[in-house]
Structure 1
Amino acid sequence: MADIMADPAHAWTHRVCTAHAGLLWPGQEHDVRMSSNPTPPRSSATSGGGAPGRQPEVLTRADGGPLRVLVVDDEASLRELLATVLRYEGWRVETAADGHAALKVAKELDPDVVVLDVMMPGIDGFEVLRRLRATHTAPVLFLTARDALEDRVHGLTAGGDDYVTKPFSLEEVVARLRALMRRSGALAQRPDAVLEVGDLTLDEDSHEVRRDGVEIQLTATEFELLRYLMRNPRRVLSKAQILDRVWQYDFGGQANIVELYISYLRRKIDAGREPMIHTLRGAGYVLKPTT
């Protein structure tokens, strides 16, 4: 399983910490690291490929359109951060700052999934859910600072589908939303998720990589680099192409980042075996099955 959380190349933090005043940024006790450029890296999927540093499968509706997500939270900074991250998944995201606005937006949007804060002014998340359930069956992910067991039970028995407490991981929220939408039946049917080149296999759903049946542990960036190579077997890929596809943003002059990660992959994929990853000097890299 690719270790997303351990990947040193991630420019975005994996945790969002909140307080009554909003998000906690660096120097405020909790680590909420951002890249030197606070704008998320672009992606080839709708200008966004999800949580930064990775290129996940872009989920779409059964009709081929983008998934529709409603984010409801009275904290503006958190609401907009979540919306930005989810838009980089390739999804259409609308937001609401309170329960009344949420009900109005839901009527217009007809969302495929809802991210719903519990503690809001006016009507709380539980009441919003009760009213939503009268006309909508979309799965709901509760988002709240309250970690009491009775709150979790209340939310789930009221018709909520999952529950995340603050502080939370952005990647966890995205993963839970993906799981909810897979279970809801709203998604387009996915083609075979397993890539194969010779004796090398990569499962895009489970992130398992094997060569000759032996599992290989990769970081998230290593996984994305290998996936790109495996989607283009026998094709020479330039450094520029790889940088654009795998990283999507400037690494501040680290021109050797591609060579570095190719060397990481070689140690794991080719070590002790006939090599599959080849360098064409002045042209780029190519992945070929062994003969």
Structure 2
Amino acid sequence: MSVYTPLDPTQMARLLAPFGYSLVDYRAASHGIENSTFLIDATDRQGRATALVLTVFESLDSDSVHPYLHLLAALAADPHLPVPGPLEDDQGQWQITVAGKPAVLMPRLPGEHDFAVDNNRCSQVGALLARLHQCDTQPLLPLADERQRLLSLRDQLSQLPADQQAPARTLLDAWQASPTGHTLIHGDLFRDNLLWQDGRISALLDFYNACLDHPEYDLAVTLNDWCVTADGKPIAEREQALLEAYRANGGTFDRARLQQALAVAALRFWLSRLAGPVSEHSEGQGSKDPEEFARIFGWRMQGLEGA
């Protein structure tokens, strides 16, 4: 788990009250490294058991959080997307303040984290991404730019092995120089951002890296987690299952851009993991192993050079 802003039961009960809930119990979420997340058991005003999630944002300010909550509300209204939307307090507000930080309370959708991967699950993920990528972006508020995130990670290039720095910089410069896409992408569809129930996807979580860019970049982030071995080698059958389901559900992609995006996405998460956790004062996981994505980056660069 990762908790940077611990809350005691009195604090938790107090923040639930304006939403009409009474605290029964709560615990820190077992996955995620960027924000403080709590899984809450509560009762509503009619005494009915209710499962909730509280997210306290550790690196986003109030203004930055607002577009994401607007996005979640829009996606939650889509019957084809299992996305939880923000709850309103008694003042009609989605965003609240916890320990001086922006926070949001949401319903906890059914299902559990399950990190098993097979071709069927990859197909489900591909179909889900295709539906997400076809969402209308016109009503959305401006979201953070992934290209700016990549720019902010350039300082971490000096932490790479000496022989990797020049090719990594060349790759990143080429991607940054290309036009930005206009598709809504999740940007972080790792296995810990899905819930499963009876072998089916029951919830798509954590849209705080969402932005507008090329669908190939979202596919690349996803393929690099779902379709590689422990040493980072691509698994062709899983990739094929995911991409075929993506196309079958209306998604389209450019193969050459995808090859480039696979290497860029691997580099992005290598660099962000080298940057470390968002806080030195955390309970639990805090950060993940950069070497995982160093290995994936090596394989993806081989694939790009051989394309």
TM-score range, shorter chain: under 0.3
Higher-Rg structure is: 1
Tell me the TM-score normalised to structure 2 length.
0.25
Tell me the TM-score normalised to structure 1 length.
0.26
